[in-house]
Chain A
Amino acid sequence: MIEIKNLSAAYGGSTVLSGCSLTVPDGACAALMGPSGCGKTTLLRAAAGLVKPQDGSINVPGRVSFVFQEPRLFPWLTAVQNVAAVLSGRVCDNMDAALEYLRRAGLGGASDKYPAELSGGMQQRVSLCRALAYGGDALLLDEPFRGLDDNLRHNIAALILERARGRSILMSTHDGYEADLLGASVYEYHDKRFVPRSTKNCRS
């Protein structure tokens, strides 16, 4: 379960989140929506422990897996090695398990390619495979479907739902359709907080 209470956090020196509370139970998915720079990524980074909040508390028990906005693959490792790298033990011992994830993401044929030899969309999928392979108790996805066409978005959503079953998922997106693909409850940015879509509608 991801539990965020009265969170205040800054981005680039200015406070973007204030008094933000959010709970994502185990097995549920929540999608953060809002204009660029509103604090979606800041909230995800805070949940991952990468940003120190100004105030409030974040409770994410166990390990956290993260898909960054940028693929952030290790350029000197092949696609399959990038996925295998996050599994415990030696990279070479995890190749089969890693390859399975890539196959499911339609990247079986590109497993031995280096990130520089892959397109942006392919890199994004490798990054997703890496996060899914890592497991963890919570999955944080920062615009995970960026650069993917409709067909791929469907396949990847199915893979996420299958592999992240039982875990809490918190994602950021600009597209309500992407939230629907993962069956996510949508939280919209309003007055430095993310509030459930219906709540905001009631207030306004």
Chain B
Amino acid sequence: MRLLRAAGKNLTVLLFWLLVWELLALRAGSALLLPAPWSVAARTLELTGSAQFWQITALSLARILCGVAAGVALGTLTAALTARFAAARALLSPLLTMIKSTPVASFIILALIWMGRDTVPGFIAFLMVLPMVWTSVSAGIEQTDAQLLETARVFRFTRLKTCRLVYIPSCAPYFISACRAALGLGWKAGIAAEILTVPQSSIGRMLYESKLYLETTDLFAWTLVVILCSLVIEKVLMTAVGRIGRKHARGSAR
């Protein structure tokens, strides 16, 4: 009953905004300026009917998600290194802070000089995700309960056991929220990189071409695809890591 009510509420909100969009489109009076929601939906459906659409979407996803995954893996590893070794912290912290503060467009242009256009989006996603995951996981390691670490020491846990039973569960919430944010950021930065580097078979290229040929409906349709992909991958990630999250929530329920 509560679920139904929530779904009804969400649907009402969605319908309200669709109505606002429709009214604005009517006022604009041209699909070139602002296409109507139904025409965007129709175009999106039309796109999904072609094999090329799935190929483009899959390639963009693969390209960018590989970068995100590499960023998450290396960000976590770097956090462990900087927490453990002061020298690593002194060496890597300024570099990661610098990456975090640099505008993504600068990196995209630089990356275009350094590497092939097909590699740039993944690399950009990687660069965006790496410092974000590093910051979050480092905070998780720092916040690990000193009393629990002392307990592990008293019971002579090996390093591996301490890592498995203390550090990893303690950092899990930080890691999960970092992954969630990283996915969103990495995906969007990756698409932005695709728009600037226009690799073959990419959502970014389709967005770029839509803009180039003033096909605003296509621009909206591909943007909708980007949003839907973002929602789906977030949902998949949350389902995959949900167990850890629930376990932690239970552990700190009181």
A binding-site residues for B, Cβ under 8 Å: 48, 50, 63-66, 68, 70, 72, 74-77, 85-86, 91, 114-117, 130, 134
Query: What are the residues of chain A within 8 A of B169 when measuring CB–CB?
Result: 74, 76
Contact A72 B148 (CB under 8 A): yes
| B contact face: mostly helix, strand, loop, or mixed | helix
The reply to whether A74 and B252 contact each other, CB–CB distance below 8 Å, is: no
B92 to chain A, nearest CB (A): 29
Q: Is B155 touching A116 in the complex (CB atoms < 8 A)?
A: no
Contact A72 B151 (CB under 8 A): yes
Nearest Cβ on chain B to A116's Cβ, whole angstroms: 4
4 A-B pairs with the lowest CB-CB distances in the bound complex, closest first: A75-B251, A116-B254, A76-B169, A86-B155
Tell me the B residues contacting A by CB distance below 8 Å. Answer: 147-148, 150-151, 153-157, 161, 165-166, 169, 172, 247-248, 250-254
Contact (Cβ within 8 A) B151 A76: no
Q: How far is the CA of A63 from the CA of B153 in the complex (A)?
A: 11
Known contacts A76-B248, A77-B165, A115-B251; A70 and B148 CB within 8 A of each other: no
Q: What does DSSP make chain A's interface, helix, strand, loop or mixed?
A: loop
- List 16 interface pairs A-B (beta carbons < 8 Å), by A numbering: A50-B154, A63-B156, A64-B154, A65-B155, A66-B151, A72-B150, A72-B151, A74-B166, A76-B169, A76-B247, A76-B251, A77-B165, A77-B251, A85-B161, A117-B253, A117-B254
Cα A48 to Cα B153 in complex, Å, equals 10
Q: How far is the CA of A72 from the CA of B147 in the complex (A)?
A: 7
Complex CA distance for A68 and B146, rounded to whole angstroms = 13
The smallest C-beta distance from A28 to any residue of chain B, in angstroms, reads: 22
**Would you give the shortest CB distance from A146 to chain B, in whole angstroms?**
16
A134 contacts B155, C-beta separation under 8 Å: yes
Q: Which of the residues B151, B172, B248, B252 comes within 8 Å of A68, measured between beta carbons?
A: B151
Q: How far is the CA of A117 from the CA of B254 in the complex (A)?
A: 7
Which chain A residues border B148 with CB–CB below 8 Å?
Answer: 72, 74
User: What residues on B are CB-neighbors of A130 within 8 Å?
Assistant: 155
Residues of B within 8 A of A68 (CB): 147, 151
- Say whether A50 contacts B150, CB under 8 Å: yes
Most buried by B among A66, A85, A134: A85
| Contact A116–B154 (Cβ < 8 Å) | no
Chain A proximity of B36: nearest CB distance (Å): 50
Nearest residue in A to B153 (C-beta to C-beta)?
A50
Q: Would you give the shortest CB distance from B61 to chain A, in whole angstroms?
A: 32
Query: When chains A and B are docked, how far (Å) is the Cα of A115 from the Cα of B248?
Result: 11
In the complex the two chains form, what is the Cα distance from A68 to B252 in whole Å?
20
Whole-angstrom CA separation of A129 from B161 in the bound complex? 20
- Kindly report which residue of chain A lies nearest to residue B166, judged by CB atoms: A74
Q: Which residues of B contact A117 (CB under 8 A)?
A: 250, 253-254
A41 → chain B closest CB, angstroms: 13
List residues of chain A with CB within 8 A of the CB of B254: 116-117
Which residues of chain A have C-beta atoms less than 8 A from B252's C-beta? 75, 116
Q: Which residues of chain B have C-beta atoms less than 8 A from A50's C-beta?
A: 150, 153-154
A140 — nearest CB in chain B belongs to which residue?
B154
How far is A161 from B172 in the complex, measured between Cα atoms in Å? 39
Distance between Cα atoms of A10 and B151 in the complex (Å): 21
* Given contacts A66-B154, A68-B147, A68-B151, A114 and B250 within 8 Å (CB-CB): yes
Measured between alpha carbons, how far is A116 from B247 in the docked complex, in Å?
Answer: 11
Closest to A48 in B: B154
Residues of A within 8 A of B165 (CB): 74, 77, 85, 91
Within 8 Å CB of A75, what residues of B? 248, 251-252
C-alpha spacing A138/B161, complex, angstroms = 23
